[in-house]
Amino acid sequence: MSTQVRFLTKNFGAYDTNSIGAYMNIGGFKALRKAVTMDPEDICTMLSDAKIRGRGGAEYPLGRKWSQARAVKGENKVIICNADEGETTTFKDRELIKNDPFNLIEAMIIAGFVCGATDGYIYMRAEYACYRPILLNAIRQAKNYGFLGENILGKGFDFNIHLYSGGGAYVCGEGTALIRSIEGKAGRPRMKPPFIKVSGVFARPTCLNNVESLSLVPHLLLDQDTYMNCGMGESIGTKLVSVAGNVNNPGVFEIPFGTTIRDIIYNLAGGIQHDREIQLIQFGGASGKVSDASILDTPYTYDDLRAAGVMVGSGGLLVIDKRTSVLDFLRMNQEFFSEESCGQCTPCREGNLHIKIILDKLAKGEATEQDIKTMSTIAKVMSMSSLCGLGETAQNTLQSAMKKFPEVFAIGGTKA
């Protein structure tokens, strides 16, 4: 039987989120006070020792990212908090924003101190407009208390935070698209290099972090032991997972890495509605990979999931029961990408459309073996030649389904 842990979520419900005083009463801003007495490089080392990988989906090591951001030469560096949370079935970041906004603000100031930045931008998805007052109030109060502005804590560093609303498109969560959106341009990705760590928002060196990645930092600064004692193997600590689909108790759970998928689905998320059988589980949202129920006893760690053919990614888990066919699920997923492709580059724009056409043909029983081969080729070409991560990962679900459920693609065979 699994238990949830309260490391990252320990402030949830513990203070009035409208009040900086209430936050300080439970230890708020102690981590910042500690951070400014430390060598910033030691903070990067602490993050690397904890093996924190970015929680936004790409799993890039946080300590390395901050160390690289520090090393970039340039004035007026920027920290961006990616709160676009556009990945389907992923709704953990909003819990952190809603339940512990001051911790996020504190984390951004620490990031600013470590990376040598002067400005922080929170880019929050448009649909989270109801949380804007919470963050605006937290920013205002932090400024009034001298945690934002000039000469913070008398340490001679200046930092301000600005809140932006997302452009309402999935692709705006991609770093370069997000930056263009902040700059007032259409939120479309651009070629790299230059990498955003060198030339990001308004051509300033920029360090982009997910809400959950940032939110971990103040907690870790104050209590490394608890974090380091959680987890399994190379996956140290805890993770927020958001479970959606045909489960009895969908929601966000903080688990120690190493919890089995079975524990997550059957204990935390309450099992499958009406005790139906699992058809498939999608890990990490629409750009994630799928498995069948054979994955249930796999521990939720980066390495174990990868060995089982899926990924942690954004931390979303979509559980689909036997009422939905694999093919219908794939068509729905593909519809999403056909809609969300920004249309800028050919492999993604045309590839997503053609795969949708072939999946529809397959559903009508009209697809040929050549269609299946063509679909597989398009999926490979897209992952190799698309301009941004959307096109590169759009076919993860399809490609993993082709391996896990080959019968779905067998012409003349039985469909699951």
Ligand X SMILES: Cc1cc2nc3c(=O)[nH]c(=O)nc-3n(C[C@H](O)[C@H](O)[C@H](O)COP(=O)(O)O)c2cc1C
Contacts to ligand X by CB under 6 A: 54-58, 60, 82, 84-87, 170-171, 173-175, 208-210, 213, 388-390
CA distance linking residue 398 with residue 321, whole number of Å: 18
Scanning 107-115, 194-202, 208-216, 384-392 for contacts with ligand SF4 by CB under 6 A, the matching segment is: 384-392
**Residue 341, binding choice from ligand X, ligand SF4, none, Cβ under 5 to 8 Å by partner class:** ligand SF4
Q: Say how many Å lie between the first and final Cα of the chain, rounded.
A: 31
- Comparing CB distances to ligand X, the nearer of 240 and 367 is 240
Residue 294 DSSP class: G
**Contact present, 300 and 255 (Cβ < 8 Å):** yes
The CB density around residue 59, as the number of other CB atoms within 10 Å, is 15
Interacting residue with ligand SF4 among 314, 386, 393, 400 (CB under 6 A): 386
**Residue 208, binding choice from ligand X, ligand SF4, none, Cβ under 5 to 8 Å by partner class:** ligand X
Cβ of residue 379: shortest distance to ligand X, in angstroms?
Answer: 16
Cβ of residue 416: shortest distance to ligand X, in angstroms?
Answer: 28
DSSP H or E run through 196: none
The CB density around residue 140, as the number of other CB atoms within 10 Å, is 12
Cβ of residue 25: shortest distance to ligand X, in angstroms?
Answer: 29
CA angle 377, 381, 383 (to 5 degrees): 120
**Residue 387, binding choice from ligand X, ligand SF4, none, Cβ under 5 to 8 Å by partner class:** ligand SF4
- Comparing CB distances to ligand X, the nearer of 172 and 408 is 172
Q: Strand 160-165 and strand 289-291: pairing? A: unpaired
* Residue 303: exposure state from Cβ atoms within 10 A (0-12, 13-18, ≥19): middle
**Of 38, 397, 401, nearest to 217 (Cα)?**
38
Q: What is the per-residue binding string for ligand SF4 in 333-372, x denoting contact by CB under 6 A?
A: --------xxxxx--xx-----------------------
- Comparing CB distances to ligand SF4, the nearer of 210 and 386 is 386
Cβ of residue 60: shortest distance to ligand X, in angstroms?
Answer: 5
- Comparing CB distances to ligand SF4, the nearer of 119 and 174 is 174
Cβ of residue 398: shortest distance to ligand SF4, in angstroms?
Answer: 15
**Residue 348, binding choice from ligand SF4, ligand X, none, Cβ under 5 to 8 Å by partner class:** ligand SF4
Backbone phi, psi, residue 221, to 5°: -60, -35
SS3 assignment, position 148: coil
* Interacting positions 317-336 with ligand SF4 (CB under 6 A): none
Q: Which residues of 85-116 are buried (b: 16+ CB within 10 A; e: fewer)?
A: bbbbbbbbbbbbbebbbbbbbbbbbbbbbbbb
CA distance linking residue 387 with residue 191, whole number of Å: 7
Q: Which residues of 318-351 are buried (b: 16+ CB within 10 A; e: fewer)?
A: bbbbeeebbbebbbebbebbbebbbebbebbbeb
**Residue 209, binding choice from ligand X, ligand SF4, none, Cβ under 5 to 8 Å by partner class:** ligand X
**Residue 210, binding choice from ligand SF4, ligand X, none, Cβ under 5 to 8 Å by partner class:** ligand X
CA distance linking residue 111 with residue 107, whole number of Å: 6
**Residue 57, binding choice from ligand SF4, ligand X, none, Cβ under 5 to 8 Å by partner class:** ligand X
CA distance linking residue 108 with residue 106, whole number of Å: 5
**Residue 345, binding choice from ligand SF4, ligand X, none, Cβ under 5 to 8 Å by partner class:** ligand SF4
Cβ of residue 382: shortest distance to ligand X, in angstroms?
Answer: 13
Cβ of residue 131: shortest distance to ligand X, in angstroms?
Answer: 15
Interacting residue with ligand SF4 among 35, 104, 138, 171 (CB under 6 A): 171
**Of 111, 120, 103, nearest to 219 (Cα)?**
103
CA distance linking residue 196 with residue 184, whole number of Å: 17
Q: Which residues bind ligand SF4 (CB under 6 A)?
A: 171, 189, 341-345, 348-349, 386-388, 390-391
